[in-house]
Structure 1
Amino acid sequence: MDVSYLIDGLNDFQRAAVSAPEQNMLVLAGAGSGKTRVLTHRIAWLMQVEKIPTYGILAVTFTNKAAKEMRGRITDICPFQIGGMWIGTFHGIAHRLLRLHYQEANLPEQFQIIDSDDQQKMVKRIIKSLNLDEKYYPAKDMQWYINDKKDEGLRAKHIDAGYSLQDKQRLQVYQAYEEACQLAGLVDFAELLLRAHELLLNNAALLHHYQDRFKHVLVDEFQDTNKLQYAWLNLLTDRDNYLTIVGDDDQSIYGWRGADVENIQRFLKEKTNPVTIRLEQNYRSTGHILNASNKLIQNNSDRLGKELWTSGEDGEPIAIYSAFNDYDETRYVTSQIQAWEREGNKLCDCAILYRSNAQSRLFEEQFMANQLPYHIYGGQRFFDRLEIKDSIAYLRLMNNHQDDAAFERIVNKPKRKIGNTTLDKIRLCAREQGYTMWQASVFLIEEKQLSAGARSSLSGFIELVSRFKSETSELPLFQMVDHIINHSGLKAMFEAEKGEKSRSRIENLQELVSATKGFVIPEEEQEMDELTAFLAYAALESGDNQADEFEDAVQLMTMHSAKGLEFSQVFMVGVEEGMFPGQRSTEDETRLAEERRLCYVGMTRAMQKLTICHAESRRLYGQEKFHSASRFIAELPEKDIHFVRKQAQVKRMQPASIKAPVFNGESQDVQGFKLGQQVKHVKFGEGTIIAQEGSGENSRLQVHFSDVGSKWLMTAYARLEAI
């Protein structure tokens, strides 16, 4: 049989990996090196040349999408059916094993899988049944604790709680949760993997059956495996069979969720005579992008080592844009994308990558103003995010007690023991009396038509919102928002979630404070008070302006979300010390190494053009922060980069010199105003111009007001009066 079609068109190293003899093998596959093609052709080679039956191959990956793509590609290159082959995700394969052997796994035949939400609700019921205070043992926190222990392969019985009361009670919750799931025949996602591992570990005959059956186990994205996944794979291939792993230690960016890059090193140490084949020829990016990426990642130690190269052109050097501030950064990126579109290119070939979701807000604002369609990959628009909508609802209800939609959203958020029974009574009263829900609540409290507990909880909520109005009436908008986020309990509630989602929510809340500090009432709405104008703005921003998933649109996403994707033009924004890498990462070598790998992943998404942006100043958490360019930019070779604007010669007063102006940069006359000039604003009072940018109608001034701090104002609309 002629099998030359399986290796035709492959480079020497790809061909070596595909046609290797039966052995344990690491395919160290760099970004854009054709690893999926190699993996699928290797499977076809095993069937065609080595005569391994389809049922003798197990292929494992991380997402259903990747598994589906792998199956489709193998089907395309093999002239016969592959129905007997097991191809799936870790969870999918584990589920299949447990269904086939439910008795040996000590599960009922009709066991059910519960999703994350159902798991959290179950944990919450258990916390309540144990009479534990959810304030100290939040359900989300306990859910994270249970799943983390399972990912480490630890049952409750394996854990020594020590002498800490908190540790003992957390362990008590875990144990009660295990018992409840076993009784009800329920399996969560982490349990699928743990029980599948235990199934084989505790049943020698079954283990030998699958070791004899699966002559070859092949795993994609191996650098993303955790301890339990590695243990399961190692167990399954601990006989006269072989494990092939495909991965890249330089793209290990999920340490925060349990991925262990050291698993590649363990494989090399623990498997019999493993062979390593490096795929270093890149088919995606230009020479400048690859060379700079190589130099960056070489600053990490303990790498297996590889260097990407291309036979293609060097292309354009990487553009480094030094922005005056975050607004300048946003406007520059927008102008570059508009120019790209005018040249006849598709918007969907452009991606903006940022470290945290909160950074999308200014781009959304700018794109809507310029009618540029955009799509947030794997996320929501800023004003549509749950934590933002919750905060806005508090502002709305404080501003207008009769806002029923806001009332319903936050009356029990955070939890106040105002249950559905109480809410049904409020709704019924409102309908019968023609009241709003706020009015109905006051009526039911005064008439004592609710239980004592419900009256107390509802009264507490009514008093809280009323108190907010009096407490914040004299505060500027950003302080008002900050006060409500902190004193409503929202911030504490989201902090209790733990993990990456919690961090993202808190960052978004802080960005909301920044958004309100930078908010300027539009000229046509000057008669509105600041809060009402901002709420109107937020509502309009939340309108249906995001592009359809299949519409030609700019792609916005976090660098984590970008892994595995590629775009003709990429903008990496906010690449500054304190942002990327974050402050905590600079103090921890392990975290810093992972942040550098994340930067490497971001850079290698670009095919033709890469722009890296950093801003001299950025509004964070309602305050102006001054950052230096990221160390990652300093680690790029000069021959591969081009500075669009040298280190910003910003027209700004020295931050510490507001009363006695000293300038760095020459002051310019911007529509009659200069740095250091004393001015008066109709709403914010007297202040000093401390920064300026742009010219003509597009110019902006930063004014430091003694009462409300610094604000950026459009010169043409600010109606400033010189003192």
Structure 2
Amino acid sequence: MATMDFFARKQAELGVALNAIQKQAVKHTEGALLLLASPGSGKTTTIIMRIGYLVEVKGVHPSRIKAVTFSRASAQDMKDRFSRFFPDHPEGSVNFSTIHSFAFEVMRDHLRRSRIAFQIIEGEVEQQEEEELPLHKKLILRDIYRKLRGDNLTEDQMEELTTYISYNKNKLVPVHKWEETPCDVPEAAAVMKEYEAFKRSFGDKLLVDYDDMLVIANDALSGGGELLWRYQNRYDYVLTDESQDTSLVQHAIIEKLAARHGCLCVVADDDQSIYTWRAAEPQYLLDFKRVYPEAAILKMEQNYRSSRNIVEIANEFIKRNEHRYDKNMFTRNPGHRPIAIKQLGDYKQQAKYLADQIEGTELLSETALLYRNNASSITLMNEFDRRGIPFYMKDGDNRFFTHWVLEDVLGFMRMAYTDKRADLLEKIHTKMLGYITKVQMAALAAIDNGESVFDNLIAHVPLQDYQTKQLQDAKEMFQRMRDMEPRAAIRLIRYNLGYERALDRICKRLGFRKENLTGMLNTLEDIADGLPSLEDFANRLKYLEAVMKASKRNKHANAVTFSTLHSAKGLEFERVYMLDLIEGIIPSAEDVKKEDDEVSPLMEEAVRLFYVGMTRAKKQLALISYGKRNGEEVKESQFVTAVRHLQSPHQKEAGSAGKPEAAWNARSGGKPQPRAKPAVLLAGRRQASGGVTVTEGRPGEEAELANPRALKTLEGLKAGDRLVHRSLGTGVYIAANQETVEIRFELGVRKLSVAACLGAGMLTRE
């Protein structure tokens, strides 16, 4: 079958038309090839067409092709596309897999041949016996750390420690150099040595985590012999995708697999390498010609995803980095709105501003909010939930709701309801005024007379002179706290009961970053805002934890995507907002440190991370910063400043933060619209502006035009009436006032803005 017949036939069958570079990549089947694929350049389509070309034109049996990618989702995507593009060849015939699944296969073969039993101790692990804890990586590490340090690992420390262990293994760092790998967890190298020894302490089996699979597989293939020969002779062509995310040990495995025939196609983009903290090796790509001197290097530079405005600025922005291949991303897509740059006065305004922008948008699934740190998602979740805007949290984790700072705050609040329990005081006594010692707490615990712990301390326990007055003040403040609104109670805990000063001491002793802990407290204040009681606050936290878990079900629903910049790679959206764009977050303080008067590799990675965020947007991109955070002045990210300078004078004017009426508005489909007057639709009242009804949902559009059956007023509704919310589904009406309407949905009770619901035509009777 002629080459042109292949391309012409697939274009006729699928509508897939490849450009000249893509066709060249498809046809370059022999020898080594590095295919550098810019964002939105049709990488996956090219890969699948290349595999199909090998099968249908070169006559290669599908089972002789090995395609390796970084994640299960990418592997599944390639399988699905191959099945659609080439239905005559079953998807199982080409071996698509992740590097970990291939390593597991090699490891299993090697250990079976060596008659060594093994047990996986990561992921979902079954409990062996009722009386014993399961052998799980995190449980083992917690136990080792407790024995070595006499203390418990926090969730943040656990993440830091597991990343440290993974880094050392993926970088193939020898044992004697583990201590040189930076880690904020005390005695991390000693913990890792104990962990490795423990896994080998079972005479009848070897305990194996995910990183061990890679190391064992690489060692097994390094030994040569029949095992290496068998795997090398199983495949004639090897292809790796997302290779900028591949670690040193993973590259080593692939090199050994392809060494016999040398037909290796590496698909990557050095400009999107953002996982060096996870041991990714972007330098491997820059050194590709050293490993494969005869290799061809092709650059797929045409972007099919984004508007010209975004592509041109992103292409210039990434050139800040020196250690990269010289590429020039371009597009033939037309221009759209310029990149909008918005600077708010304070961080506290960010979530509300974004909800204002997005509320009423029809196609929420084409909107993404991207941030560097997962902590940013909690405030967003709280605000969007209150507004009734559905969202999908791509990589939310539960650490916020189990963090010791949150537990401390709740511990203080529990003391407000009863000050007669020494066990409650014991959990917080080191973090409040009074400076109660362990000896004093032990003496208090022995007193069981049903009286106030503070009275018992003063009356029955030897104290320093200064302690009596402080403990009397503490007792009085806990009594007042019971009737306080939660936000005021949190501020009392922070500034009057001494919690902020305690955090200072903890940070100095353990090396925690105070700004992270302060940010948590500020987030708790945001959650508490407007709640009437401490009980409501505790219930709100439980509710939000459930909301976070439930948001996973919105993956394929009409919902806004919340995602870290790292997890957004590979995704695309019509509208993208990048948040928290200030110095200290992106780039962070660690990013900007220089090494021998040269730009830090971390700084180059921060540039790549920002670039990845920009190139997720198809048509509309907004960069959000602010002037104050946690009560302190902050600076706009230098990356935002760079984008502002890169935009043409015309673009600067249209995208300027200082002219909101000119910036694109997500609710108006990206078209510049005049802002609604302050007297917009409230609780059913409408005000005409130039003969057209102005609503909070869409400026210039009547609610009844958007939805003829939409409620125009809440008058006449009775408790128990069933309503349908356009985004949240069916619910039961509870009550309403001039500002909010309370409805019970399947997920729980929501308090929604009356103005937003009526103005955007969001509610109808069932």
Q: Is the contact made by 2:29 and 2:54 (CA closer than 8 Å) also made in structure 1?
A: no
State the alpha-carbon separation in 1 of the partners of residues 526 and 177 from structure 2.
53
Q: Which runs of 5+ in 1 are unaligned?
A: 415-441, 448-458, 497-501, 651-669, 671-696, 699-723
Aligned partner of 2:171 among 152, 157, 167: 152
Which moved further from structure 2: 625-634 or 71-80?
625-634
RMSD over aligned CA atoms reads 4.4
Look up the match of 1:72: 80
Q: Is the contact made by 2:307 and 2:335 (CA closer than 8 Å) also made in structure 1?
A: yes
State the alpha-carbon separation in 1 of the partners of residues 272 and 176 from structure 2.
35
Q: Residue 342 of structure 2: SS of its match in structure 1?
A: strand
Residue 562, structure 1, aligned to residue 571, structure 2: no
Aligned partner of 1:594 among 605, 611, 625: 605
Look up the match of 2:41: 33
Give how far 1:182 is off: 6.7
State the alpha-carbon separation in 2 of the partners of residues 444 and 52 from structure 1.
80
Aligned partner of 1:376 among 358, 368, 393: 393
Look up the match of 1:99: 108
Residue 358, structure 1, aligned to residue 369, structure 2: no
Residue 292, structure 1, aligned to residue 313, structure 2: yes
Q: Is the contact made by 1:392 and 1:535 (CA closer than 8 Å) also made in structure 2?
A: no
Change (3 A) 1:160 1:479: closer
Counterpart of 1:122, as a letter, is: I
Residue 118, structure 1, aligned to residue 139, structure 2: no
Q: Is the contact made by 2:67 and 2:95 (CA closer than 8 Å) also made in structure 1?
A: yes
Q: Is the contact made by 2:339 and 2:655 (CA closer than 8 Å) also made in structure 1?
A: no
Change (3 A) 1:186 1:520: closer
State the alpha-carbon separation in 2 of the partners of residues 571 and 161 from structure 1.
38
Q: Which runs of 5+ in 2 are unaligned?
A: 125-134, 432-443, 450-460, 462-466, 481-487, 595-599, 661-677, 679-737, 740-766
Matches within 5 A, 1:51-62: 51-62=59-70
State the alpha-carbon separation in 1 of the partners of residues 110 and 228 from structure 2.
12
Counterpart of 2:57, as a letter, is: V
Q: Is the contact made by 2:110 and 2:227 (CA closer than 8 Å) also made in structure 1?
A: no
Q: Is the contact made by 1:285 and 1:606 (CA closer than 8 Å) also made in structure 2?
A: yes
Look up the match of 2:747: none
Give how far 1:87 is off: 1.6
Q: Residue 310 of structure 1: SS of its match in structure 2?
A: coil
Residue 260, structure 1, aligned to residue 281, structure 2: yes
State the alpha-carbon separation in 2 of the partners of residues 84 and 490 from structure 1.
61
Aligned partner of 2:217 among 196, 204, 215: 196
Q: Deviations over 1:173-225 (max 9, x none)?
A: 15523422675332110100000001110133322332233221111100001
Q: Residue 148 of structure 2: SS of its match in structure 1?
A: coil
Q: Is the contact made by 1:61 and 1:67 (CA closer than 8 Å) also made in structure 2?
A: yes
Q: Is the contact made by 1:224 and 1:259 (CA closer than 8 Å) also made in structure 2?
A: yes
Q: Deviations over 1:355-399 (max 9, x none)?
A: 212223443343234322222222158974655653443234333
Look up the match of 2:262: 241
Give how far 1:600 is off: 0.5
Matches within 5 A, 1:655-670: none
Change (3 A) 1:118 1:167: closer
Aligned partner of 2:588 among 582, 585, 600: 582
Aligned partner of 1:610 among 598, 618, 621: 621
Look up the match of 1:694: none
State the alpha-carbon separation in 1 of the partners of residues 529 and 104 from structure 2.
56
Q: Residue 345 of structure 2: SS of its match in structure 1?
A: strand
Look up the match of 1:22: 30
Give how far 1:638 is off: 2.2
Residue 316, structure 1, aligned to residue 316, structure 2: no
Q: Residue 115 of structure 1: SS of its match in structure 2?
A: coil
Q: Residue 357 of structure 1: SS of its match in structure 2?
A: coil
Normalization by structure 2: what TM-score?
A: 0.67
Residue 278, structure 1, aligned to residue 299, structure 2: yes
State the alpha-carbon separation in 2 of the partners of residues 106 and 598 from structure 1.
45
Look up the match of 1:346: 363
Look up the match of 1:133: 149
Residue 301, structure 1, aligned to residue 318, structure 2: no
Q: Is the contact made by 1:516 and 1:534 (CA closer than 8 Å) also made in structure 2?
A: no
Look up the match of 1:231: 252
Counterpart of 2:588, as a letter, is: G
Change (3 A) 1:379 1:490: farther
Change (3 A) 1:601 1:237: same
Q: Residue 627 of structure 2: SS of its match in structure 1?
A: strand
Look up the match of 2:230: 209
Change (3 A) 1:16 1:31: same
Change (3 A) 1:575 1:132: closer
State the alpha-carbon separation in 2 of the partners of residues 82 and 624 from structure 1.
56
Matches within 5 A, 1:449-464: none
Change (3 A) 1:633 1:273: same
